[in-house]
Amino acid sequence: MTTSSKGLEGVVATQSSISSIIDDQLTYVGYKIDDLAENSSFEEVVYLLWNLKLPNKSELDAFKSELVDNMTLPEAVIDHLRSYDLSTVHPMAALRTAISLLGLYDEEADIMEADANKRKALRIQAQIATIVTAFSRIRQGKDPVQPKKGLSYAANFLYMLNGKDPEDIEEEAVNKALVLHADHELNASTFTARVCVATLSDIYSGVTAAIGALKGPLHGGANEQVMKMLTEIGEEDNAIPYIKEKLDNKEKIMGMGHRVYRNGDPRAKYLKEMSRQLTELTGQPKWYNMSVKIEDYIKEHKGLPANVDFYSASVYHSLGIDHDLFTPLFAVSRVSGWIAHILEQYDNNRLIRPRAEYIGPKKPEYVAIENR
């Protein structure tokens, strides 16, 4: 039997046409992340991931319109969000439950034909943004805000969150973050989604399972932990002493290094620049300056560059987004990739059933219970 690989590191588990990481270069359907981050809307990227081609103008206009038209939540889901103990529940737990609940109100939930799955995909992508923003407003004692026609997906997220049209730079920042987080090959949550639907379970189950995986701090929760660290540091002069102490205690610095990338995460530079612009705009450049000091120190002493989570923390903070909403915002983007992989799994399915290398006791003698 083949020797196991801890964490499945280096194991190629499937073939995919959706995204790739080759020589530290991330692509979506072959397109470089640099080209997409600099030129594309999030809606274009979602269309690309689901259809394996970029849309033309009429296709994109129709897709944008369909997303906005499907953003409104069933009233029962809103009522359920209101029923939570909002003083204790984490938004990722609320999101996980709400997505599962959506499946109960979708008449096509268990219909597995390709067209039905595409319609469900559209509804999930549209409504996940509404769930996150509605939860945020409800726990502030406010009513949810309905989506606004004519706004982009990124702008609608901020509009439903804050109840006002966002500034152009705010929309640009969220759009860029959504594009950069949309897919990332066979990451933990994506693999979880594919394992789930490989049993021929429904798309809502696959997305719910993926959210459960993303909830962990070693995956989607990293940027929330980065902001917690920056808040604890407080001021720029405290940054290096704080990091030195952490390293001396052999504690992990969140947002640094990556399992796959060896020479740096190609997505990080875009959020680094957005962090610089937004922290300057809000009059709090210390968050960016602090982050740069930490990145430079870790790179020099540990050889680890920042990953995409590191600067997304100060970007989201500068947008006024609550820190515990950072991971749900990640999910709002990554659900596009999960769905792409779920649809791909359905198209060429085989039950995912790996083996385990047994390391337990070898043939112990059974002793009757009265003699134990």
Same domain, 127 and 209: yes
Classify residue 275: in a domain, yes or no.
yes
Q: Are both 85 and 22 inside the same structural domain? A: yes
Are 106 and 207 spatial neighbours (Cβ–Cβ below 8 Å)?
no
Residues 211 and 226 in one domain: no
Residue 368 lies in a domain: no
Has residue 131 been placed in a domain? yes
Distance CA 125, CA 317 (A): 24
Counting the structural domains of the chain, the total is 2
CATH number at residue 57: 1.10.580.10
Residue 9 domain flag: no
Identity of the amino acid at 301: H
Same domain, 274 and 328: no
145 and 236 part of one domain: no
Helix H or strand E encompassing 22:
strand 19-22
pTM for the predicted model, two decimal places = 0.92
Residue 343 lies in a domain: yes
Residues 6+ away with beta carbon under 8 Å from 318: 275, 278, 279, 281, 282, 284, 287
pLDDT for 258 = 67
Measured CA angle at 197 (ends 349, 266), to 5 deg = 90
Which of 318, 337, 361 terminates a domain? The answer is 318
Please check whether residues 19 and 102 belong to one and the same domain: yes
Based on the domain organization, do 28 and 130 belong to the same domain? Answer: yes
In a domain, 360, yes or no: no
CATH code, domain with 279: 1.10.230.10
Helix axes 42-51, 114-139, angle to 10 degrees: 150
Domain shared by 209 and 341, yes or no: yes
Taking residue 26's Cβ as centre, other Cβ atoms within 10 Å add up to 24
CA proximity to 310, closest of 277, 260, 272: 272
> Which residue blocks in the chain are alpha helix, DSSP H?
33-39, 42-51, 57-69, 75-82, 91-104, 114-139, 153-162, 168-181, 188-197, 203-214, 222-233, 239-248, 268-281, 286-302, 308-318, 326-347
What's the pLDDT at 259?
63
Residue 235, both tokens: 């001021």
pLDDT of residue 252: 86
Same domain, 139 and 103: yes
CA 16 to chain centre: 19
Is residue 219 part of the annotated active site? The answer reads: no
- Let me know if 309 is a catalytic residue: yes
Domain containing 237 equals 222-318
Any bridge partners for residue 32, and if so which? 27
Same domain, 70 and 111: yes
- Cα separation, 223 vs 308, in Å, equals 9
- Whether residues 167 and 35 fall in one domain: yes
Amino acid letter for position 262: R
Per DSSP, what are the bridge partners of residue 22?
25
In the chain (372 residues long), the average pLDDT of successive 10-residue segments reads 71 88 91 96 98 98 97 95 89 96 96 97 98 96 96 98 96 96 94 97 98 87 89 95 94 79 82 95 96 94 88 94 95 98 96 92 94 94
Q: Which residue among the candidates 181, 184, 258, 341 is catalytic per the annotation?
A: 258
For the chain, the first-to-last Cα distance in angstroms comes to 34
Q: Enumerate residues 6+ apart whose C-beta is below 8 A from 28.
A: 18, 19, 36, 45, 48, 49, 182, 183
What pLDDT shows up at residue 282? 95
DSSP state letters, 75-102: HHHHHHHHTS-TTT--HHHHHHHHHHHH
For the record, the structure tokens of 359 come out as 């390391």
Residue 357 located in a structural domain: no
d(CA 370, CA 372): 6
pLDDT at 1: 54
Domain membership of residue 1 (yes or no) is no
Residues 178 and 227 in one domain: no
As a whole number of angstroms, the distance between CA 68 and CA 63 comes to 9
Candidate list 202, 309, 317, 341, residue with the active-site label: 309
Nearest to 173 by CA among 288, 62, 42: 42
CA distances from 289 to 98, 179, 236 (A): 38, 25, 7
